[in-house]
Structure 1
């Protein structure tokens, strides 16, 4: 039987500002990527989200990003590999402390936004991220864009790696995600997003925006928790996967 993990970015509010529908999404997904206070989140939100994930039996991952609250971590910052390694270490350590205090175990690490996309094509950044995780805790699973430098760096560092695909994003011919600056970057229809993932799991391919058929490996599929229709996407994707006989489970 084919099995797939559904992950979702969560805990992205801060202070008095709420973002996303975490409680509803936690009922639909198998893994949660929790913001670590730099691109989003704050200490209280981190703890609350950890507690919610544990109540729902959802695997918990750190979601570290650039220190760019105003830009939601989606703006490219030019940091050295050493700076990125420290950035990753600091944020994982913070979330890991909350997870341990709440009686859980940190399961994975998935970089956020611009850092994730830059590491997908930059070997030095990818190696800095993988190295930080390996030096901290080799039991942690690295989530990275399927076929990317981040996946390769994770394997080279001796980590368990999960190749990630996206239900609500479109792809380019080289296997990277379509930049958010383009009008065709996002899929807005839940049925279309679910169909893309079902096709991907059955064929190991995805159709890029220019029509190119791209070979792609999938261990985990992402739903963006900040999306307006995130809950509808998650429910439709879950329904379609189960109807196809595909099992849902954290890695």
Structure 2
């Protein structure tokens, strides 16, 4: 679905779907080999079991089932990576599961419990009020990577604007590059309702299913490198 061959040379980290919202063992292995070729870190990208909805629909599950589901998906990618003498470097939940873990501390706890089994960091959105998330992560001795988004608009709360909202996905070159510059150089982002909020991120995400963003990756890389 995405143009992985064009994207991989320009990214430092790649989120690989683990079969529940997209991909299968053959595609997973092919993408692992592509990441190795370009010295790109491999991240597991688990989701709710939602192939039809591309993982963007919330599915009600109990805490233990969420933990087991994440272990199952990450474990599959980990095994395939090890078959190629490489490792996964982090875990980043996908779609609705990602959004739910930010809003529901029980879900975050379930995911943190799962990710801690693998000894790698959990990636999450850099939001203003994340003290409770960090307390849970500390309970599991779980490192956190904070990320921001190049091509998604923000709410004044620090959350991503829902895709159902007009303007939630940025598709203009100037808007994307301006947002990257604000985040990388000033630690701030302008929200969809025109507030300026602080944001501290370790990495910037670009969506592979956004055609405009794929075309922008080279330019975004240059902005981050200061060119």
Please give the range of the TM-score, normalised by the shorter of the 2 chains: over 0.9
Q: How far does residue 181 in structure 1 lie from its aligned partner after superposition?
A: 0.6
The size of the alignment, in residue pairs, is 224
Counterpart position of 1:195: 178
Indicate which of 158, 182, 191 corresponds to 1:208: 191
TM-score by structure 2 length?
Answer: 0.94
The yes-or-no answer on 1:137 pairing with 2:114 is no
Greater helix share, 1 or 2? 2
Change (3 A) 1:223 1:44: same
SS of corresponding position for 1:198? helix
The yes-or-no answer on 1:170 pairing with 2:153 is yes
Counterpart position of 2:168: 185
TM-score by structure 1 length?
Answer: 0.86
Residues 126-160 of structure 1: per-residue CA shift (max 9 Å, x gap): 011011111x222x111101124655533442111
Distance 2:219 2:25 in 1: 32
SS of corresponding position for 2:215? helix
Indicate which of 36, 52, 56 corresponds to 1:74: 56
Higher relative contact order (CA 8 A, sep 6+): 1
Residues 64-98 of structure 1: per-residue CA shift (max 9 Å, x gap): 00100000000111111111101100000000000
Q: How far does residue 191 in structure 1 lie from its aligned partner after superposition?
A: 3.0
Counterpart position of 2:40: 58
**Residue segments in structure 2 that go unaligned for 5+ positions in a row:** none
User: Deviating runs (4+, > 3 A) in structure 1?
Assistant: 148-153
RMSD: 1.4
Alignment check: 8 A CA contact 1:190 1:236 kept: no
Distance 2:226 2:3 in 1: 25
Distance 1:152 1:35 in 2: 28
Counterpart position of 2:126: 146
Change (3 A) 1:43 1:167: same
Change (3 A) 1:128 1:174: same
SS of corresponding position for 2:97? helix
Change (3 A) 1:151 1:117: farther
The yes-or-no answer on 1:123 pairing with 2:93 is no
Within 5 Å, give how 1:200-239 maps onto structure 2. Answer: 200-239=183-222
